[in-house]
Structure 1
């Protein structure tokens, strides 16, 4: 047995939710059966030194003024996500005792799509935010 053990991963301190603008949203390709649409504000995407990709994603319906947003993080290495805060028209609310969850959780279809379409390349974040945005701009080659 080796004397070397990999250090246990520790999440870095999470900054407060960044400002987002609905007008900047880049749409996620979602299955056609979903009535909600999702977009990510590209100016909110960051890659932290701990390997977590953080961003603000917005859920909306065409023709509605209601905006719900989520400040989340994705760990490509473990295929997990965490929701740090939720936004409704009145502002951000921190999610108490937020925990990492499997990205393939049926409640996070949009997170799985964002990770697959843009944020992750295998079990690592893409090299830069620009790489992530380039991938998000590509038209989906596989249809739903």
Structure 2
């Protein structure tokens, strides 16, 4: 190797290492911490805003706008989701979406006597993995998330759910 090409290689390595170290110290975000999940909010099945999860689904999915919270401290969208069948059977979940990472966490499920059952050690799961239902992904797409950030307000989120195509008018 010629002396000048060895110098160029050495300079390239030094620049590469220093820029990698600079990028790590300059752009690292502080470690994210989830705030404690508050108790599930009260919900009213008579006030559900419904949206389509899949054209082939026999279930109707809906969210009570009063049961949606946007957590500023950790960037989560927490909500109560109800999935109802034509026979009247209903599955209700208390969940959160983390738009920045495309994940969902189920905290609790609601039983017919009116009691919430908290899950033991709930875990974050990808919105894009194969799940029994794609309701959380569809909710994120329908209005809960603006790409990697939560909706600016519950009002905007609800308008998006009620008005397909609302995003185009924003």
Pair in the same fold by TM > 0.5: yes
Alpha-carbon shift at residue 140 of structure 1 (Å): 5.7
Gaps of 5+ in 2: 1-20
Alpha-carbon shift at residue 139 of structure 1 (Å): 2.9
1:104 maps onto 2:106 in alignment: no
Larger Rg: 2
Note if contact 2:80-2:94 (Cα within 8 Å) is conserved in structure 1: yes
Larger relative CO (CA 8 A, sep 6+): 1 or 2?
1
Note if contact 1:29-1:140 (Cα within 8 Å) is conserved in structure 2: no
Distance 2:86 2:49 in 1: 14
Superposed CA deviations along residues 59-105 of structure 1, whole A, max 9, x for unmatched, are: 111241x2220000000000000000001202210011000000112
SS in 1 for 2:140: helix
1:9 corresponds to: 32
Gaps of 5+ in 1: none
Q: Could you list the runs of 4 or more consecutive aligned residues of structure 1 that deviate by over 2 angstroms after TM superposition?
A: 2-5
Q: TM-score, normalized by length of structure 2?
A: 0.78
Distance 1:32 1:6 in 2: 40
Distance 1:87 1:137 in 2: 25
When the two chains are superposed, the root-mean-square deviation of aligned CA atoms in Å is: 1.5
Give the structure with the larger strand fraction: 1
SS in 1 for 2:77: strand
How many equivalent residue pairs? Answer: 140
